[in-house]
Amino acid sequence: MNGLRSATRVWLACLLLGITLISGKAFCANGTSPKIVRNISYMAQGGDPKLNALDIYTEAGTSNRPVIVFIHGGGWRNGDKVMGAGDKATDFTQEGYVFVSINYRLSPAVTHPVFAQDCAQAVAWVYGHIAGYGGDPKRIFLMGHSAGAHLAALISTDTHYLADVGVPMKALRGCILLDSAAYDMRPGAPNDLIPKVLIRKAFGSDPAVLKSASPLVYVAAGHDIPPFLIFYVATRDTSRQQSETMARALTAAHVPVEVKPAYDKSHRTLNVGLGTDGDIPTEQTLEFLAKYK
């Protein structure tokens, strides 16, 4: 159903905008594919030229489109913006969004709070420059997978990250989280062996640090926290427990939240399947985006 709706929408847009469809993909009248601008540095000084960079997926001639900023996973130690984008970049661009995929510095070269600070710096760059690429800086959605979901949740709840770089929380229209078990890192929080090992390697074992890195700690009313869409893999108990606990806290703080179990998905396929035809989480994501854009 999603594929038929998307194909129909793209076909109609092609008629109106002079775009040609070849093998199901959208091409502009001059034969070029949707525009990709790669490796834009988002830090004015310092940082790592490769890791403090982002890619923008957009379409020529557009303006004031809502923006999705995607934060890749990889246990805060691995991963990258190109692999993270996948089919999501093409699909959401065709659905009327500007898609931005970011890198950030990784452990063990850096430690908390640098991961989140880098992501906030990337959002600040988007806020200040995305209008030049067809995006609306007042309509930004954060999306992340695994460790990236943790970071998206952290900078959407701990307001100082965006405040420190001059971005108002109200610029965030929503936060979409793909299967993390790190919303609460404090000792005693539900978790299984793999996340515990990854958390310890990236954040250490100091309870004060683990508390400061836990998005759940910062959920409170009156902080302009955006609406949340939280996915968890249905067969993964710790992700379900963490997601449901996060959702209860958001609800208590009067923040709109939806929690969706992803059936017949693994931690990996939930992410790589997003943006593909017939994918239920994709349809649910598009419904959430439409509601708050």
Whole-angstrom CA distances from 219 to 107, 155, 162, 208 are 26, 11, 15, 17
Better-predicted residue by pLDDT, 11 or 182: 182
- Name which of 100, 89, 101 is nearest 130 in CA terms: 100
Residue 161 pLDDT exceeds 50? yes
| Residue 188 structure tokens | 């005693």
DSSP output for 234-268: TT-HHHHHHHHHHHHHHHHTT--EEEEEETT--HH
Q: What is the pTM of this model?
A: 0.89
Quote the CA–CA distance of 137 and 130 in Å, as a whole number. 6
Q: Cβ of 168: how many Cβ atoms within 10 Å? A: 12
Q: Which residue has the higher pLDDT, 28 or 285?
A: 285
Q: How far apart are CA 248 and CA 49, in angstroms?
A: 39
Q: Is the model's pLDDT at 20 over the cut of 90?
A: no
Average pLDDT across the chain, whole number: 89
Q: Is the pLDDT of residue 9 over 80?
A: no
> Per DSSP, what are the bridge partners of residue 53?
41
pLDDT at 169 exceeding the cut of 50: yes
Amino acid letter, residue 176: I
Query: What pLDDT does 196 receive?
Result: 86
pLDDT confidence bin for 192, thresholds 50/70/90: confident
Alpha helix (H) residue ranges in 130-236 = 147-157, 160-163, 193-203, 207-212
177 forms beta bridges with 144, 230
What CA–CA distance (Å, rounded) separates 97 from 63? 10
Question: From CA 11, how far away is CA 140, in angstroms rounded?
Answer: 26
Confidence of residue 31 (pLDDT cuts 50, 70, 90): very low
Q: Is the pLDDT of residue 41 over 90?
A: yes
The average pLDDT across 35-63 equals 94
With 90 as the cut, is the pLDDT of residue 44 above it? no
Judge whether residue 14 has pLDDT over 90.
no
Q: Note the pLDDT of residue 190.
A: 83
If pLDDT is split at 50, 70 and 90, which confidence band does 90 have?
very high
CA 257/CA 162 separation, integer angstroms: 21
pLDDT in tens, 104-138: 999 999 999 999 999 999 999 999 999 999 999 99
pLDDT tens digits along 218-262:
999 999 999 999 999 999 999 999 999 999 999 999 999 999 999
Task: Return the pLDDT at 292.
Answer: 98
Q: What is the pLDDT of residue 11?
A: 33
pLDDT for 33 = 57
Contact 99, 68 (CB under 8 A): yes
Q: Give the model's confidence band at 45: pLDDT under 50 very low, under 70 low, under 90 confident, else very high.
A: confident
What is the predicted pLDDT for the residue at 34? 65
For residue 24, pLDDT beyond 90: no
Between 209 and 24, where is the model more confident? Answer: 209
Cis (ω within 30 of 0) for the bond into 113? yes
Domains defined along the chain, listed by start: 1-31 (no CATH), 34-292 (3.40.50.1820)
